[in-house]
Amino acid sequence: MDSNPVVFLHVPKTGGTTMNFILNHIYKMKFLWLRNDIILKQSNSTINEIDIFHRIPPEKRIKFKAFAGHKISPLIDQLPSHFKKLMLVRNPYEQIPSLYFHHQRNKSDSPAYKEVSSYATLDDFVKSESKYYPNPQVKSLFFDDLEILKNQDLMKEKIATLVADKIDICGTTEQFEDFLAIVSYELNWGRFSYQIKNQKPGTKSTVPEKLKVEITQRNGLDIFLYEQVAEKFQLLIEKHQSKRNFKARNTSSVLDKVINKIQQYKMASMANLELKKEVQLKSTFLKYFLK
C-alpha cells in the first residue's frame, strides 16, 4: 500500500533531522528536504525554503509526495488537502539549550548562527532578545509576521488554531517513538528502523533551576505551544490504543512530568515577577522619601 503524502514542519532542535532521514527512507526520490542553507553556501542569495518550493516547476513538483524544512508553515495552506501535516515540538527547558549549543558548535555565515553564537554563555542567550529568541519554536512557525508576537493573546489564538485545525499529527520530542508509531499507522508506512541524527555527545548542559524560571518568564508562547501539542497528542494516543496492530510505548508519564515541571516554573516565575515589582515599588518610594 502506498504511503500517504506528507509535509513536515521542522521546528529546530526537536528531532526533525532524524524525522527527515526517516522521510527520505520511506519516500526516497519522492521526498524533498527544503534546505536553504545548501544554496546559501553556494551564493549570497537570500532565497528561503518557500522560494525553493515555488521555483520548482509545477509539473515536477507534483511528483513529490513528501516535503520537509524549517520555516515552511505557509505550505500547509498551499499544498493539496490530502497531504498530512506533521509537526514536533520540544519542551523549552531542553530545546533552548540545545539550540544554543547547536549554534555554538556549528558556526557558519548564516544570520542565525552569527546571532546565537555571539553569546558567550547560555545564561546570556536566555536573557537576550532577537528575531530568533525568545520563543524560538513559535518564531520558526510564524516567521513571516514576527510583529504579531507582541500581541500575546492574538498569538495564542493563532497557535491554538494551528495545532487544533491545521496540523493532522503533532507530537513532542519526549514522546518521539509514540509519535512515530501513530504516524506510521496513519500513513501506512509499515515497519522500519532508524537512527537518531544530529545529536552530539557531551553537549547537553544541566540548566540551573534559576535559569529555568527565566526561560519560563520569557518564553510563554513556546510553553503555550508545547502545552497545546501535548494535550492534542495525548488524545491521539488514547484514540489509537484500541486499534489493532497499533503499538506505542505510551510515554505519557514522561509528558506528565514535563507538564508538572512547567507548572512549577510558571509559579516560580510569577513569584519572581511579584518580587521584582515589590523591589521596584520600594525603590520608587525610597527615591521619593529621600528627596
From the number of C-beta atoms within 10 Å of its C-beta (0-12, 13-18, 19+), residue 110 rates as: middle
Identify the pLDDT of residue 215: 95
Question: Is-contact 203 105, C-beta < 8 A?
Answer: yes
Report the C-alpha gap between 121 and 60 in whole angstroms.
46
First to last CA, the chain: 81
The span from the CA of 210 to the CA of 226, in Å, is: 21
Q: What is the rounded CA–CA span in Å between residue 223 and residue 225? A: 5
- pLDDT given for residue 3 in this prediction: 80
- What would the grid cell of residue 268 be? 516560580
C-beta atoms surrounding 233 within 10 Å: 24
Strand partners, 6: 66, 84
Give the CA-trace dihedral at 96, 99, 105, 106, to 10 degrees. Answer: -160
Q: What are 20's three cell numbers? A: 527527515
pLDDT attached to residue 190: 83
Which residue's entry shows cell 540551573? Answer: 208
Angle (CA) 201 15 139, round 5°: 115
Angle formed by the axes of helices 252-289 and 209-218, to 10°? Answer: 80
CA gap 19, 87 in Å, rounded: 10
Please say whether the dihedral angle defined by the alpha carbons of residues 215, 216, 217 and 221, taken in this order, is positive or negative.
Answer: positive
What is the predicted pLDDT for the residue at 144?
A: 75
User: Is there a contact between 69 and 50 (Cβ–Cβ < 8 Å)?
Assistant: no
Which of 15, 18, 151 shows the shortest CA–CA distance to 91? 15
Name the DSSP class of 165: I
Contacts of 236 by beta carbon, 8 Å cutoff, 6+ apart: 169, 171, 182
What residues contact residue 77 under an 8 Å CB cut-off, 6+ apart? 166
- Decide if domain 6-92+135-289 falls under CATH 3.40.50.300: yes
Residue type, 176: F
Domain range annotation of the chain: 6-92+135-289
Q: Check: CB of residue 91 under 8 Å from CB of residue 226.
A: yes
Segments in the chain below pLDDT 50: 40-44, 202-203, 275, 277-279, 281-291
Instruction: Kindly state the DSSP code that residue 146 receives in the 8-state scheme.
Output: G
Average predicted confidence (pLDDT) for the chain: 83
